[in-house]
Amino acid sequence: MEFRYASLPHRVIFGAGSSRTSLAAEVEALGAERLMVIASDRDTALVDELLAPWRDRVAVRFTGVRPHVPDSVAAEARRMAVDHRVDGLVSIGGGSTTGTAKIVALTTELPIIAVPTTYAGSEMTPMWGMTTAARKETGVDRRVLPATVVYDSDLVATLPVDLAVASGLNAMAHCVEAYWTEASNPIVRLIATEGVQALAEGLRGLAGTERASGASAADAGTDTAAARERLLYGSFLAGMAFATAGSGLHHKICHALGGAFDLPHAQTHAVVLPHVLAFNAVAAPESAAMMARALGADDAVAGLRDLASAIGAPRGLAELGLTREQLTEAIDLVAGRLPIANPRPVDRADVEAILTGAFSG
């Protein structure tokens, strides 16, 4: 056995209530005196509460967060950081919020404290993304890796169940792809397997929830606190696995769809994942077997599809708003990125089959 494994310099605070008990100390330890707080307008009440103990250190708040980090948002956030002589960043929110902080850090090298409120997992990675002219550009740079991540399962208690489901499957996609990228190794696969199991258990914990619009994870079942904690733990592991393994066919498809058509990020991952898994599982039987065991199933593909059905995951790209005309453009976009390293060789016909299947669900 031969492999290489590089551990990234993570500092993680994990625990219910930790954003209220530990965040102020982490801000103090960062040593920054002129912070930029990055958070969406919809999280204003939460942000006001969390920053109260260190309000005097906040130089500016940026609330113009948008999915896929359009270049106009990046430019405005970077301008504000420079104009206000910011010396540190605190992001409080989901993957788009973390992504905005990363784009600022990419050019300023400012340290980030990330407080995730969804199951994105991107806070554990040195990956960044930005959309310019409907095309999403991504890269890897250690300057964007948060210095500290504070995981507090209390902060996902009000997450709408449909978004919690999509976000959890987004994290699952990080784990699944980590099994077979070129940079994968036995350690990453162990982390990914633990992540798949934790995410599946957490998602099943929400399965009995009524998924009416606005329903939240706090409304589900009798043991939702444990389910939220398992999901957050799984997303942490998913981010760790993705940080080392990097992206492959699945993420390249989802990035193309999100950048070109502004499809919702987490839901797009949730829809596409079973189709890419079905395509690749036959070429990576050992990894598929590990995944199946983590899902509590005999077959990885069937296990993932059963889980998605049980938790009410979105089924097709058409459901997310993609039109048939855009489907043709999407196939051209992804095919234009070939060759893509993958455990099974992939050509244009394969891309067309995967996306056509994902379109109809």
* pLDDT tens profile 320-354: 999 999 999 999 999 999 999 999 999 999 999 99
* The pLDDT of residue 212 is above 80: no
Strand partners, 58: 35
DSSP assignment string, 204-215? HHTTTS---TT-
| pLDDT tens digits for range 93-108 | 999 999 999 999 999 9
The three-class DSSP label of residue 298 is coil
Give every CB contact of residue 28 below 8 A, 6+ residues apart in sequence.
54
Distance in angstroms (rounded) separating the CA atoms of residues 92 and 132: 24
Give every CB contact of residue 85 below 8 A, 6+ residues apart in sequence.
34, 59
Instruction: Assign 210 a pLDDT band (cuts: 50, 70, 90).
Output: very low
Q: Considering the chain, what is the average pLDDT of its residues?
A: 93
The amino acid at 229: E
| pLDDT tens digits for range 170-200 | 999 999 999 999 999 999 999 999 999 999 9
Residue ranges per domain, the chain? 12-155, 160-360
Q: How far is CA 31 from the centre of its chain?
A: 28
Judge contact between 96 and 44, C-beta under 8 A: no
- Residue 224 is predicted with a pLDDT of 85
Percent of the chain exceeding pLDDT 70 equals 95
| pLDDT tens digits for range 49-84 | 999 999 999 999 999 999 989 999 999 999 999 999
| pLDDT tens digits for range 114-167 | 999 999 899 999 999 999 988 889 999 999 999 999 999 999 998 888 899 999
Instruction: Assign 211 a pLDDT band (cuts: 50, 70, 90).
Output: very low
Q: In what order do the strands lie in the sheet with 148-151?
A: 12-14, 148-151, 112-116, 88-93, 35-38, 58-62
Pick the CATH number of 160-360 from 1.10.579.10, 3.40.50.300, 1.20.1090.10, 1.20.120.350: 1.20.1090.10
* The pLDDT of residue 217 is above 70: no
- Residue 221 is predicted with a pLDDT of 43
Pick the CATH number of 12-155 from 3.90.1150.10, 3.30.450.20, 3.40.630.10, 3.40.50.1970: 3.40.50.1970
* The pLDDT of residue 214 is above 80: no
Mean pLDDT, rounded, for 273-298? 97
Which of 177-191, 220-234, 267-281, 290-304 is the least confident region?
Answer: 220-234
Distance in angstroms (rounded) separating the CA atoms of residues 52 and 222: 32
Instruction: Assign 2 a pLDDT band (cuts: 50, 70, 90).
Output: confident
Judge contact between 258 and 67, C-beta under 8 A: yes
- Residue 330 is predicted with a pLDDT of 95
* The pLDDT of residue 222 is above 90: no
Which of 199-213, 214-228, 253-267 is the least confident region?
Answer: 214-228
